[in-house]
Amino acid sequence: MRRVGVVASGQASVVEEPLERLRERAATLDIDLVEMEAPGDPGSDSGVDLAIALGGDGTMLRALHRFLGTEIPVLGVNFGRIGFLTSIPGSQLDASIGRALAGEFKVVELATIDATLGGKRHAAVNDVVATSSTPGRMIALRATLGDEDLGLTSCDGMICCTPSGSTAYNLSNGGPVMMRGLDAMAITYVAPHSLHARPLVVPSGLRLEVSNQTPGVPVAVLVDGQAVGSLDEDEELSVDVGAQRAHLAVLPEVTFFSRYREVFLGAVSS
């Protein structure tokens, strides 16, 4: 490990001191530490062997987007609230970061989602959400999957998520949890006005087409929480499993289920 990139949370007061400790540790190991902006130029690796994200899941998503199209893995140190995608608790930075800098980590490939809106493609690491642009107004979405019509559904919105995004907004709306490593996406309606609208898990190769059938109410489209556009009546959004992969670095003992227990079952077991 000769050159390591760092993407830090925008909350400088939270990460300023840990960042200084990381600089000191890298210097003792003769590692060139490069502080990098995210978002930066997607696919630009600046010659780094590893990227370290200091922050929560938001910082992790920005870092994973930053290195899409490269093989650079991103390791997270949690200084946020949940940090499901992170590998090292902030309190264990000093005890664990030396292992990572010595190359003691494994890399997990994460599926992405491609959303096409107005002829422009957007890559999502977590999810693509179509939701009413008017708070409190229900929308009507027509969906087709491949050549199959899924019908017209009145709802507050629709979530299309990757396996790594399945434990976020999707989970809070009753959607399925998917293990990392699956080449698939889940489709979950938000508050559907229907007894028959159920979450679906679909493989790659099946494109979802969603059209807004709500007179006078645009549908906002968000990719990983960022607004990228909207759908007027009869306009369409296309979503499918992407060809790109994000690369998540985790310590050897950190697994999907160990993080799942810590984050979601900790309150129950305690």
* Residue 244 amino acid letter: Q
Nearest to 116 by CA among 205, 12, 235, 257: 235
- Which helix (H) or strand (E) segment holds residue 16: the answer is helix 12-28
CA distance readout (Å), 225 to 128, 159, 250: 8, 11, 24
Q: Catalytic residue numbers?
A: 57
Q: Which residues of 97-124 are buried (b: 16+ CB within 10 A; e: fewer)?
A: beebbeeebeebebbbbbbebeeeebbb
Do the strands 50-55 and 3-8 form a parallel or antiparallel pair, or are they unpaired? parallel
Q: Name every residue whose Cβ is closer than 8 Å to that of residue 2 and which is 6 or more positions away in sequence.
A: 31, 32, 49
